[in-house]
Amino acid sequence: MAPATSQHMSERLPLDPGPEQARELVERALHLVTEHLDGLGERGIHPRRDADELVTRLLAQRPGAPRSMSSALSTLGEVVAAGRETTTGGELAYIPGSGLLTSAVADLLASTLNRYTGLPGIAPAAVALEGGVLRWLCESFDLPERAQAVLLSGGSMANLSALVAARERLGADGLARVYVGAQAHASVRKAARIAGLRAEQIRVCPSADGLRLDTEAVRLAIKDDVAAGWRPMAIVAAAGTTNAGTVDPLAELAELAAETGTWLHVDAAYGGFFQLTDAGRAALAGIERADSITLDPHKSLFLPFGTGALLVRDRADLQRAFAEDADYLRDLDADEALPDFSELSPELTRAWRGLRLWLPLQLHGVDAFVDALDHKLALARRVWEHLAADPRLRTWGPPDLSIVPFRAVGDDVLQDRLLERINDSGVVRLSSTVIDGEVALRLAVLSHRTSDTTVEQALALIDSSLDELGVTPAADG
């Protein structure tokens, strides 16, 4: 039952509500949250109401006279119902983002306590709390003592910050070149452009098997480029591509980067936290040699959207890229033991992001994440084994991590019809992509809410949809 109302339409809520009103506000918000979470499984993935009228109304809305919290929250309820439900375990499309409640509670705390963590001297313990999590991240990837992690808004900002750091160390001019795989995430090419590189300075290298960057192809590209007067600046590898979850040959690429004096950046936005598991650590072997690593806690650590991380092997590279002096900060104490985020990232004033990671890690413990990630790997393996055994489907080998692409025997139109049929069920949602120039469906297991039952439901839906569409094995078997 929703809490009883004490705040009426006509009342103006003070900017600093008293304890009673504050409690009522939070309880009302909490009520919406628990109702949402309680009904998640049953509601499926489809929007529960049409968005058009609501979108028009909201775009026309202007803040004016105050209204009650219950009225504001009822609008929010409509907003949530008008979009796809992406926080259920049935979300197996794109890169699922489930959102831990404990991290959301940390957001409430971080925002109300509003500690200033852009500089170390103002709230040193708040910076230390985040610093401890950052150290743990660096240690999880076996990076040296001089390594540094920073939390940013997401993987795109981490990729951008990494390429700016590489540019500042190696000096980019019009002849610098960055080597990326055909399967690299779009944010990598975007980052290179924002970092000042022109399109011809971004060299897309082929993959040996259509999915994983081919080290020899990169080696040849670098050799040719050097002979032609280009200056190789960075190799960007993927530790979990968005399309197929595949991991580039990181150890080989690290060797090549060392030989050629280039910066190795590993975009592990999707796959990075599998490093916490034994199987994931084996799949990501070589990542510990990277100059920089992008991680997205809002992907494989199940956090709500808004937290990315960049790990850099040598904090001096971040300082070179981002440190600036400011006269008006002269009266603030420096503290050598603490990270100074203002000189390690593009931001100054920032959300106290550390709490979003710290609180879940405190409350659940690291092993809860290790178990959940191991479970995702096992579920993806189960999906692949089932699909690979069906002669009506093409698959691309056992999953490196937790994404399984597949394609039915038939043309691209058939793939779209298959996807539509599966998603129309309202139980699970898959998405599609293009691999080797052909449309493929993909099933991504990453939500902390995806269970064995969800996966069995998805497999049964794939089977029955193939039956209904009359798909048969290829004539040559």
Binding-residue total with ligand PLP (CB under 6 A): 14
Q: Which is nearer to ligand PLP, 201 or 242 (CB)?
A: 242
Q: Which is nearer to ligand PLP, 155 or 399 (CB)?
A: 155
What is the DSSP code string of 188-211?
HHHHHHHTT--GGGEEEEPBSSSS
Residue 41's identity, in one-letter code, is G
| Length reported for the chain | 477
Q: Which is nearer to ligand PLP, 267 or 288 (CB)?
A: 267
Phi/psi for 48 (5° steps) reads -100, -5
Name which position in 130, 248, 267, 291 contacts ligand PLP (CB under 6 A).
267
Q: Which is nearer to ligand PLP, 7 or 275 (CB)?
A: 275
Pattern 297-336, binding to ligand PLP, x per CB under 6 A? Answer: -----------x----------------------------
Q: Shortest distance, CB of residue 351 to ligand PLP, whole angstroms?
A: 15
Q: Which of residues 88-127 bind ligand PLP (CB under 6 A)?
A: 95
Q: Shortest distance, CB of residue 86 to ligand PLP, whole angstroms?
A: 13
What is the DSSP code string of 66-88?
---HHHHHHHHHHHHHTS---SS
CB-based contacts of 215, cutoff 8 Å, min separation 6: 249, 252, 253, 256
- Bridge partners for 308 per DSSP: 152
Pattern 404-433, binding to ligand PLP, x per CB under 6 A? Answer: ------------------------------
Q: Does 356 bind ligand PLP (CB under 6 A)?
A: no
Q: Shortest distance, CB of residue 157 to ligand PLP, whole angstroms?
A: 7
How far apart CA 158 and CA 309 sit, in angstroms, is 6
Q: Shortest distance, CB of residue 258 to ligand PLP, whole angstroms?
A: 24
Say if residues 129 and 297 touch (Cβ distance below 8 Å): no
Q: Does 270 bind ligand PLP (CB under 6 A)?
A: yes
Q: Which of residues 178-217 bind ligand PLP (CB under 6 A)?
A: 185, 187
Q: In what order do the strands lie in the sheet with 403-408?
A: 393-395, 403-408, 438-444, 431-435
Q: Where are the alpha helices (DSSP H) in 151-203?
A: 155-170, 186-194
Q: Which is nearer to ligand PLP, 95 or 312 (CB)?
A: 95
Q: Does 296 bind ligand PLP (CB under 6 A)?
A: yes
Phi/psi for 176 (5° steps) reads -70, 145
How far apart CA 297 and CA 304 sit, in angstroms, is 8
119-157: b (≥16 Cβ within 10 Å) or e = bbeebbebbbbbbebbbebbebbebeeebbbbbbbbbbb
Q: Which of residues 133-162 bind ligand PLP (CB under 6 A)?
A: 154-156, 159
Q: Which is nearer to ligand PLP, 270 or 406 (CB)?
A: 270
Name which position in 88, 201, 215, 242 contacts ligand PLP (CB under 6 A).
242
Which residues are near ligand PLP by CB under 6 A? 95, 154-156, 159, 185, 187, 238, 242, 267, 269-270, 296, 308
